[in-house]
Structure 1
Amino acid sequence: MVDKRKSPRKFDDEFKKSIVKLYENGKSQNSLAKEYGIAISSIARWVKQYSEVKFDDGTILTARQIQQLQKRNVQLEEENLILKKRLPYSRHTR
């Protein structure tokens, strides 16, 4: 018996970013899915990952970068709490 399911296609980051740019420039996810033979769910995930956020100071970050920064911030806050508990009588608590 032959398995007729397709193996998942792999797309590189540049291709994904180009699809996101097309979406940001007005193409619908449906039309992109039909034109390029990509699942709408994949396009939606890429839009979430690669859409850019521009800040007042001109900095541009992708949603993925923001998520990584948030994760790192939580990690640093946890480390900070641990350090504060280790030094209950430090000069900062007087």
Structure 2
Amino acid sequence: MESRNKRKYNDDFNKMVVELYHTGSSVSTLSSEYGVSEVTIYKWIKALTPVNGEEMV
């Protein structure tokens, strides 16, 4: 069974996009620039952003 056009991005790429978001880039800009859907970027932000300001180790 083939997944529907889903691309697998590596963790470093995901982290880089989230870092760019945290440094002021908009999700729509990042989506256009890197060819990743806005929904996917929001999922990465949610998954990779520490809760309650705690540092991720």
Which consecutive unaligned segments of at least 5 residues does structure 1 have? 1-5, 63-94
Q: TM-score, normalised by structure 2?
A: 0.81
For CA contacts below 8 A with separation 6 or more, give which structure has more relative contact order: 2
User: Paired residue for 1:79?
Assistant: none
When the two structures are aligned, how many residues end up with a matched partner?
A: 53
The structure in which a higher percent of residues are strand is 1
Question: Aligned pair 1:11/2:9, yes or no?
Answer: yes
Question: Aligned pair 1:22/2:20, yes or no?
Answer: yes
Moved over 4 A (4+): none
Which consecutive unaligned segments of at least 5 residues does structure 2 have? none
The percent of aligned pairs where both chains have the same amino acid is: 34
**Largest Rg, 1 or 2:** 1
